[in-house]
Amino acid sequence: MRSRPVLTGLTMAAALAATLAPGPAQAQGHHGGAHCPQLSTELPWHGDNRAKLQRTIDERGTCSPHWRGGKHRPVAAFDWDNTIVKNDSTDATISWALRHDKILRPKDWAATSEWLTPAADRALTEACGTDVPVGRPLPTSTNDDCADEILQVRGEAETMSGQEAFAGKWNHRRTVPEYAWVPQLFAGHTVAELRSYARAARDEALAAPVGSERKVGTHTVPAYSRYYAQQKDLVRTLQKAGFAVYIVSAGSEPVTEEWSSGVGIDRKHTLAIRSVVRHGRITPYTEGCGGTGVSKGEEIPYIEGKRCVINQEIFGIEGKKAWKKQDWRHRVAIGGGDADTDVTFVGDATGTHLVLNRNKPEIMCRGYDDADGRWAVNPMFIEPLPRQEDAYPCSSEGFTNPDGSLGPVRRGDGSVIPDQEDTAYGEDA
C-alpha cells in the first residue's frame, strides 16, 4: 500500500476562535480579504453556497490567524464522478474499452465477482462466447450481445433478460457489487494499460460536444464529459489557501488518477478502489480498509467505506477505529459529493457539506435538513436535473441499512428527518 501523508487538521478551539474574533496573522498567512484566496465571482453558484464555502476557506486556510500549516493543514475531500466532472469517468472508460476490444475473456465469469449469479454467468458466457482464448480480448466492438450484457450488469445489476446479476449477502453501506465489478473487468491488464485506456477515454469525452451520446452495443450512453468550472476553481482556491485536497471515489483507482490530474490533484491525493496487482497484472481482488484485508470487493470506498479510506489514508487511523466518526481534528473541513455513496464523509465535514443535486435520497435529506447550517446544496452545473415533484421520503425509507433494507434518515441525536421538498434544481442553476 502506498504511503500517504497523515494530517491532523486545525484544533477545534483555534478554528472556532478564528470565526469569532479577528487577530494578527501568523507569518505563513495573510489575514484580510485583499490577500485571501477567493472563489471566482464570475462563476455562478446557487444561493449563498459560494459564501458558505468561502467562509470555511477563510476560517481554516492561510488567512486564519490560527493557521499552522504542515501536518495541521486542513483537508478537503471530494467525490469524483458527477461531483468534480460531469458524467461518469469509469463508465466512459468502460465504453471506450468495449469499443476498442480491451476487455479480456475471463476463464470463468463467475470468478470475477463473489456475488455474480448463475443467471449472469450464463448470460455473459453465452453472449461473449468461448471461442476467444482465455486472457485474450473479446470482440466487443462488433459483438453487440457481449457489450450489452457487460453494460447491463455494470449499470443495472441485471442481465439483458432482466434477471438479477448479483445475489447473496454484503454490507450495503460498505460495497455494491456492480461498482466493485468494474476493476474486476480489467483483470489481466497492467496498471499502465488501464491508465492508457482512461486517458484515451478522457480525451475523447472532453472533446465531444456537451449533451452528445453514442451507441455501445444497443445501449445509448453519454459520449461527453466536462470538468465543472466551479469545481476547478474551488480546488485551485483551496490549494492556494493551504488545504490538502483529495479525491475519494468508488471508481477504479488508476482510472480516477488519470482523470483527477486534470484539476491539479496528483495520484497521492486520489483514493479509489485499489486492485491487488500480482505479477504485474490486475486481479479480481481489492484491498480492504480498517483491517479487513484483501477480498473481492467486500469493502470499497462506498458510503461508510469512504469514511474508512479517509480516516486510514489521510489521517493515519488504523484498524476498526477507521470505520468510526472521528474527533473534530481528524475530519475533513470540506466534503463534497453528489450521491448516497458520499453521504457519510460529506456529513463528517466540520466546515461545509457540499452536495450536487442528483436526486439521491439520503444525501438530499441531510442536505435540505441542514442540521448544522453548513450544508450547501447546488444543482449540477451542467444539465442540472429538474425539480423532483415528490418530497424525498426521509421519514420512511431514505436510509439504506447494512442489510439493504430501507428506513428513516436520522440526525446525530437520533431524531428522524422529516420529508424534504426539492428546492435546488435546474431552473435555479
**325 and 202 in a common domain:** no
Residue 399 lies in a domain: yes
> According to the model, what pLDDT value does residue 7 have?
62
**366 and 264 in a common domain:** yes
Which neighbouring-strand residues pair with 295?
286
How crowded is residue 143: how many other Cβ atoms within 10 Å of its Cβ?
Answer: 18
Residue 352 lies in a domain: yes
Residues 310 and 248: beta-carbon distance below 8 Å: yes
> According to the model, what pLDDT value does residue 252 have?
97
**404 and 337 in a common domain:** yes
CA 2 to chain centre: 20
**93 and 80 in a common domain:** no
CATH number (domain holding residue 422)? 3.40.50.1000
Residue 4 lies in a domain: no
> According to the model, what pLDDT value does residue 71 have?
82
CA 3 to chain centre: 21
Residue 53 lies in a domain: yes
The set of residues, in sequence order, having a beta carbon less than 8 Å from that of 152 and lying 6+ positions away, is 158, 159, 160, 165, 219
Cell of 114: 463473489
Residues 285 and 276: beta-carbon distance below 8 Å: yes
List the domain range (segments joined by +) for residue 320. 12-86+229-428
pLDDT digits (tens, 9 = 90+) for 63-117: 998 898 888 899 999 999 999 999 999 999 999 999 999 999 999 999 999 999 9
Amino acid occupying residue 356: L
Residues 149 and 159: beta-carbon distance below 8 Å: yes
Dist CA 224 CA 210 (whole Å): 6
**58 and 19 in a common domain:** yes
**397 and 347 in a common domain:** yes
Phi/psi of residue 353, each to 5°? -105, 105
- Strands 213-216, 352-357: pairing kind: unpaired
Phi/psi of residue 273, each to 5°? -65, 120
The alpha carbon torsion through 315, 316, 321, 326 (nearest 10 deg) reads: -20
pTM assigned to the model: 0.92
At 364, which helix (H) or strand (E)?
helix 361-369
At 148, which helix (H) or strand (E)?
helix 144-156
- Strands 85-86, 226-227: pairing kind: antiparallel
Residue 410 lies in a domain: yes
At 183, which helix (H) or strand (E)?
helix 177-185
**Beta strands per DSSP E along 274-370:** 275-278, 281-286, 334-337, 352-357
**417 and 292 in a common domain:** yes
**125 and 36 in a common domain:** no
**184 and 48 in a common domain:** no
> According to the model, what pLDDT value does residue 36 have?
87
**162 and 244 in a common domain:** no
Dist CA 101 CA 193 (whole Å): 13
**129 and 29 in a common domain:** no
Residue 5 lies in a domain: no
Matching residue, cell 466512459: 92
> According to the model, what pLDDT value does residue 35 have?
74
Return the SS3 of 300.
coil
Residue 2 lies in a domain: no
Cβ burial of 72 (10 Å; 0-12, 13-18, 19+) is: middle
- Structural domains of the chain, count: 2
Domain boundary among 194, 222, 250: 222
> Residues 323-328: contacts with CB within 8 Å, 24+ apart?
323/289, 323/290, 328/9, 328/12
Dist CA 164 CA 232 (whole Å): 39
> According to the model, what pLDDT value does residue 4 have?
58
Could you give the percent of the chain with pLDDT greater than 70?
A: 91
Tens digit of each residue's pLDDT, the chain (429 residues): 454 556 654 443 343 333 333 332 333 444 445 478 999 999 999 999 999 999 999 999 999 988 988 888 999 999 999 999 999 999 999 999 999 999 999 999 999 999 999 999 999 999 999 999 999 999 999 999 999 999 999 999 999 999 999 999 999 999 999 999 999 999 999 999 999 999 999 999 999 999 999 999 999 999 999 999 999 999 999 999 999 999 999 999 999 999 999 999 999 999 999 999 999 999 999 999 999 999 999 999 999 999 999 999 999 999 999 999 999 999 999 999 999 999 999 999 999 999 999 999 999 999 999 999 999 999 999 999 999 999 999 999 999 999 999 999 999 999 999 999 999 999 744
